[in-house]
Structure 1
Amino acid sequence: MHNASRRSNRGPAAAPENRRALLDAARRVFADRGYLAPLSAIAQEAGVGQGVLYRHFPTRLDLALAVFEQHFVELEDIAAEPGPDAFGSLWTRLLELTVEESAFVEMFLAARHDLADTDLGDRLPALIGATLPRAQSAGLVSARLTVADVMLLQRMVYGVVATSVTDAEARDAVDRALALLGGVLAPEA
């Protein structure tokens, strides 16, 4: 007997929709359960079989990189904004992503040797380097701040997030840590 509620197999026509569903599900599951979350949970969340997941993303790293790429596109759009406020917007969004989706920092740390031949490690510093001088020229941040300093601050924020037990604790701890470091970003008086 035919089950009318069963999803029909649309074959290749469903590929773009399945890919989007997998990326959305991966973003949620990785954010909730970390980089090592079962891939079966991602397929289930996306409403597809594991075979579909592996056709689109043969490895966990392929899937995480595809989601990570979405983050970079968003950050690149922010960095492309004209004016001195782009750095502040970029920094704010980077902190939000670090707190909300620390699994992607986990991914980078776990796979950094496999990623040595990619530009992944250079992209974020390039975005910061493109926006920081404008903010400094406008007197919005310290003229002594370097790209390496900002990257170190982001790593410190990740450390706070990684050692927090709950999301609420992570957000509070990041806010407190940044308050302690308030003078680091502030322009000189």
Structure 2
Amino acid sequence: MTQHPTPDERRPANRGPKAAAGNRAALVTAAREVYAEHGLDAPLSLIARRAGVGQGVLYRHFPDREAMAAAILEENVVEIERAAAAEGATLAGVLGVLTWHQAQSAAFIGLLHAPGAFGRFHSHGFSRSLGERVERALRESLPEGHRLGAQDARDLMLAVAMVSGAVTGATAEEREQRALDAWRLLGIEVGPVRPFEG
């Protein structure tokens, strides 16, 4: 005799294409967490499990490790651009968002510390493009005559690279404190350290 599963035992209905955006968002969130804990070489299967999806779903959205990392770095940069473009944006506020990303992402630190050095993307100009976009967003936030823009066009990103080089520690809280200490030593005010909410 064949036993049929009771309604409580049945697998959830396949939502198909309707689930795509939610699955992608869950994968990006999971990848941020996993990369923060284990670095960019963490198994993609761990990301899929953390997101609550199968590996097939992960590969539909991100065909390889580089695509996953690129999506996360792109989102980091977009948040900084949005913070800079927000009404009433200040350099301190944008630096707060930048610092939050520095504390959360080793890959992002690598991108800022040595633009062009995020090797997997170097041949495509990917890291250079992202670094330039971060610089543009920060420059848009610089007040007229600010010392990071007044003397030498390279000073702004040199300061960002110096702070990125100081961001070390086992936890996001430790990395955030190191970044804030470095900005303080440079005499630069940083607003609340948080993701952009706007």
TM-score (norm 2): 0.75
Residue matched to 2:93: 89
Unmatched runs of 5 consecutive residues or more in structure 1: none
Match of 1:136 among 135, 144, 161: 144
**CA distance 1:146–1:71, change in 2 (3 Å):** farther
Residue matched to 1:152: 158
2:127 is aligned with 1:121: no
Mapping for residues 75-114 of structure 1, pairs under 5 Å: 75-83=80-88, 85-106=89-110, 109-114=118-123
Match of 1:164 among 160, 166, 169: 169
Unmatched runs of 5 consecutive residues or more in structure 2: 112-116, 190-198
CA contact (8 A) 2:73 2:107 kept: no
Q: What is the alpha-carbon distance in structure 2 between the residues aligned to residue 175 and residue 126 of structure 1?
A: 22
SS of 2:9's equivalent in the other structure is coil
Q: What is the alpha-carbon distance in structure 1 between the residues aligned to residue 151 and residue 56 of structure 2?
A: 48
**CA distance 1:121–1:40, change in 2 (3 Å):** same
CA contact (8 A) 1:102 1:158 kept: no
Give the AA of the match of 1:122: E
Give the AA of the match of 1:136: E
CA contact (8 A) 1:98 1:105 kept: yes
> In the TM superposition, what is the alpha-carbon distance from 1:147 to its structure 2 partner?
5.1
CA contact (8 A) 2:81 2:133 kept: no
SS of 2:154's equivalent in the other structure is helix
TM-score (norm 1): 0.78
Q: Percent identity?
A: 38
**CA distance 1:13–1:166, change in 2 (3 Å):** closer
Q: What is the alpha-carbon distance in structure 1 between the residues aligned to residue 100 and residue 14 of structure 2?
A: 38
Give the AA of the match of 1:58: P
Deviation per CA, 1:90-112, whole angstroms, max 9, x where unpaired? 11210111012223334762324
Residue matched to 1:16: 21
Q: What is the alpha-carbon distance in structure 2 between the residues aligned to residue 71 and residue 165 of structure 1?
A: 21
Q: What is the alpha-carbon distance in structure 1 between the residues aligned to residue 177 and residue 49 of structure 2?
A: 32
Give the AA of the match of 2:185: L
SS of 1:136's equivalent in the other structure is coil
Deviation per CA, 1:91-143, whole angstroms, max 9, x where unpaired? 121011101222333476232413316732321111122221xx135xxx426
How many residue pairs get matched? 177
Residue matched to 1:49: 54
Bigger mean CA deviation after superposition, 44-53 or 113-122: 113-122
